[in-house]
Chains A and B, each alone.
Chain A
Amino acid sequence: MLLGASSQQEGNTVDLRGVTDKGVVTGVEHEGALSDLVEALLDGDADLERARRRASAIMGEQKCADALTVACAFNGITRVADATGIPLDESTAAATVEMRAETAIDAFDYGNKSARLGV
């Protein structure tokens, strides 16, 4: 939702399926480097330094650092959402029916997890 809205404001359109399907190009500038940074940060065994050098060469050192800064924040706040089971905001839920279907994000819905995981 936020990705779609911010891209529109910047005069671009994005293919939101690329959020959950790495085979789909979203259209966000430097998305390959950004994805690699995220994966390297979240995979504890990954060579993050190598990913950072590669991304810095493509997009510059400050942008690379800033992208990782955002990733670190969401590595925390996603867990807050998961731990508190908050529902989507009403306006977001209404505006994202199609997007959630396209990206298969509904599979992560908190209401379905107990049944899916057996507790």
Chain B
Amino acid sequence: MTDLYAATDVPLRDNLREAHATSLQMIAAPGSHWTGAERVAIAEETRIAQDCPLCAERKAALSPFSVSGEHAATDTLPAAAVDAVRRLATDPGRLTRQWFESIVEVLGAPKYVELVSVANSMIIIDSQHRAAGLPPPALPAAQPGEPDGAVNEGAVDRGAWVPISAGEDTVSATGLPGVPNIVRSMGLVPGAVALFFNTFRPHYALKDIALDISQAQAEFVASRVSAHNECFY
């Protein structure tokens, strides 16, 4: 499998290199609710967002919803999907439930959840490239085929904007949840969970982190990123 990070001297773990190469191939394949071409287009929109004048204007405004203008549909994606990805990429801390409902009214929750997984997997991979001093990797060629339509019929309403995976509310010895809501958050679409956590897993663990930094240092970094992105969770 291609090593996306072959050109860097930054010491990255082998499991991360392998996982990201796999994730790019997963993005290119048909998902459950988007085709491969649509998934690659979602990934590409996370990059286009960085130079989008409307996104910049919204980001600079006191409220992003006070700025007039809309993102247009592309040849591959409906306007609602373009808007969702671009806001997610540039101003995630100011997404609102009312905005979410307007998007889901068009896309439906399963498509939205899969979009969130693809976009954020790409954001992690591109962030890691920047961290390694590399340009973003080439987007993969979309694979043919149709979405399989898979939905987790057992997903439940737990107060999130979308139905999430059911599960026991166990609490570990440290007082932390056994399976945190974030792990269940995309549980409506099993393929979305598989893609995102294939990308995420080599980066972090809730305990006994397999990195040279301590768990407390990892949590400090995580907390600083969360604060920067104005993430409540």
- Residues of A at the B interface (CB closer than 8 Å) are 1-3, 5-7, 9-10, 12, 14, 19-20, 26, 28-31, 34-35, 37-39, 41-42, 44, 48-49, 52, 60-63, 65-92, 95, 105-106, 108-111, 113-114, 116-119
Complex CA–CA separation, A71 to B203 (angstroms):
9
Residues on the B chain within 8 Å of A91, using CB: 169, 171, 175-177
Complex CA–CA separation, A20 to B225 (angstroms):
10
Given contacts A73-B124, A88-B181, 16 further A-B contacts (CB under 8 A): A3-B220, A5-B175, A28-B217, A31-B220, A63-B213, A65-B10, A69-B203, A79-B88, A79-B229, A83-B161, A86-B160, A86-B164, A87-B181, A108-B230, A117-B64, A118-B66
Which of A20, A70, A118 is in CB contact (< 8 Å) with B203? A70
Stretch of B30-38, B89-97, B138-146 contacting A (4+ beta carbons < 8 Å): B89-97
Establish whether residues A29 and B211, one from each chain, have CB atoms under 8 Å apart when the complex forms. Answer: no
**Chain B 219-233: CB-based contact to A (< 8 A → 1; otherwise 0):** 111111111111111
Which of A49, A75, A86 is in CB contact (< 8 Å) with B185? A86
For the complex of A and B, 8 pairs with smallest distance between CB atoms: A73-B203, A85-B161, A78-B231, A81-B233, A76-B124, A108-B232, A72-B127, A3-B219
Interface centre among B184, B186, B196, B231 (most CB of A within 10 A): B231
Complex CA–CA separation, A3 to B217 (angstroms):
8
Residues on the A chain within 8 Å of B217, using CB: 28-30, 34, 63, 67
Establish whether residues A71 and B225, one from each chain, have CB atoms under 8 Å apart when the complex forms. Answer: yes
Q: Is B131 part of the contact surface with A, judged by Cβ < 8 Å?
A: yes
Interface residues contributed by chain B, number (CB under 8 Å): 85
Establish whether residues B120 and A76, one from each chain, have CB atoms under 8 Å apart when the complex forms. Answer: yes
Which secondary structure characterizes the binding site on chain B? helix
Complex CA–CA separation, A51 to B42 (angstroms):
31
Known: A48-B131, A72-B124. A113 touches B95 (CB 8 A): yes
Minimum distance in angstroms from B110 CB to a CB of chain A: 13
Q: Is B174 part of the contact surface with A, judged by Cβ < 8 Å?
A: yes
Q: Is B76 part of the contact surface with A, judged by Cβ < 8 Å?
A: no
Known: A79-B123, A90-B169. A41 touches B131 (CB 8 A): yes
Residues of B1-30 whose CB lies within 8 A of A? 10-13, 16
Establish whether residues B215 and A70, one from each chain, have CB atoms under 8 Å apart when the complex forms. Answer: no
Establish whether residues A66 and B211, one from each chain, have CB atoms under 8 Å apart when the complex forms. Answer: yes
Minimum distance in angstroms from A71 CB to a CB of chain B: 5
Known: A38-B225, A90-B169, A91-B177. A72 touches B65 (CB 8 A): no
Known: A81-B231, A119-B65. A14 touches B216 (CB 8 A): yes
Complex CA–CA separation, A113 to B204 (angstroms):
29
Which residue of the partner chain A has the closest CB to B223?
A19
